Amino acid sequence: MAHAELSAPPNWLLVDFISDLHLEAAEPATFSAWQHYMQTTPADALFILGDLFEVWVGDDVLQEHCFEHQCVQVIKQTAARLPTFFMHGNRDFLVGNDMMSACNTTLLSDPTALSFNSQRWLLSHGDALCIDDAPYMAFRQQVRSADWQQTFLAKPLAERLAIARGLRQQSEAQKRSAAANADVDAKAAQQLLLSANASTLIHGHTHKPAAHDLGGGLQRVVLNDWDAQATPPRAEVLRLSGAGLQRISAL
């Protein structure tokens, strides 16, 4: 799997990583927590590693839906203070150039190797490494194809939203099955790190925050998902500095 390259400038002292917020109008508490974090983070750069949104059916949603437009304004305000990067997740892989331009944010390839503090950190959403989940991998290959996306985006917005609702219901059903427990494959993660000459993989997607030792000095660090209405609430940032990685509560 080919990777992109990004070198942090010398003035970056703090770098934040977040993912899997699954923002939607029906979850105002999570939106509020995220908005407050975006307005107050002391980071010098922010990386959103996928699934910022619960669903994204095309950039034209910004023309009709106020919630998505409100989210764009939050990102745009943050991007005016610090470089902000976005990577596609499995829920928002249809975020396009119009969206990125609207919020002055840079779209990142998955994976991307970040050079920071004389080390290399490999960034990914993580879903492409869940190779044991065969049904999802087949679905991923289908929806990431240019032909499928062109056909889907040509449909009326209302039809796309209805299709997305159906896919979400299917996804909720799968969460109750064994397939939903498929995790990142350790060997695939090792091979990806070695090919990128990096020692740490930072990713989301699995909603299983932890640091996993992959052997040979390699590790993968999993981001937390956000749910401000859960018990206890979840809203966590992974912050990288010269001292290494630290988990920070955004609440």
To the nearest whole percent, how much of the chain has pLDDT over 70? 96
Place of tokens 């869940």: 130
Strand partners, 121: 114, 200
Q: What pLDDT does 177 receive?
A: 54
What pLDDT, in 10s, does the model give residues 22-75? Answer: 999 999 999 999 999 999 999 999 999 999 999 999 999 998 778 999 999 999
Q: Name which of 14-23, 157-166, 186-195 the model is least confident about.
A: 157-166
Q: What pLDDT does 172 receive?
A: 62
**Average pLDDT of the chain, as a whole number:** 94
What pLDDT, in 10s, does the model give residues 119-165? Answer: 999 999 999 999 999 999 999 999 999 999 999 999 999 999 999 88
Q: What pLDDT does 19 receive?
A: 98
What pLDDT, in 10s, does the model give residues 104-116? Answer: 999 999 999 999 9
DSSP string, 220-232: EEEPPP-BTTSSS
Does pLDDT of 174 surpass 80? no
Q: What pLDDT does 171 receive?
A: 65
To the nearest whole percent, how much of the chain has pLDDT over 90? 89
Q: Does the bond joining 9 to the residue before it have cis omega, within 30 degrees of 0?
A: no
Query: Which of 211, 212, 209 lies closest to 224 in space, CA to CA?
Result: 209
Does pLDDT of 166 surpass 90? no
Answer with the residue of higher pLDDT: 2 or 237: 237
Average pLDDT on 182-205 reads 96
Sequence ranges of the domains in the chain = 4-132+182-249
Average pLDDT on 200-207 reads 96
| CATH code of the domain made up of 4-132+182-249 | 3.60.21.10
Strand partners, 246: 239
Read off the pLDDT band of 175 (50, 70, 90).
low
Q: What pLDDT does 66 receive?
A: 86
Q: What are the strands of the beta sheet with 218-222, ordered from one edge?
A: 4-7, 112-116, 119-124, 200-203, 218-222, 211-215
Tokens matching residue 115: 């050079």
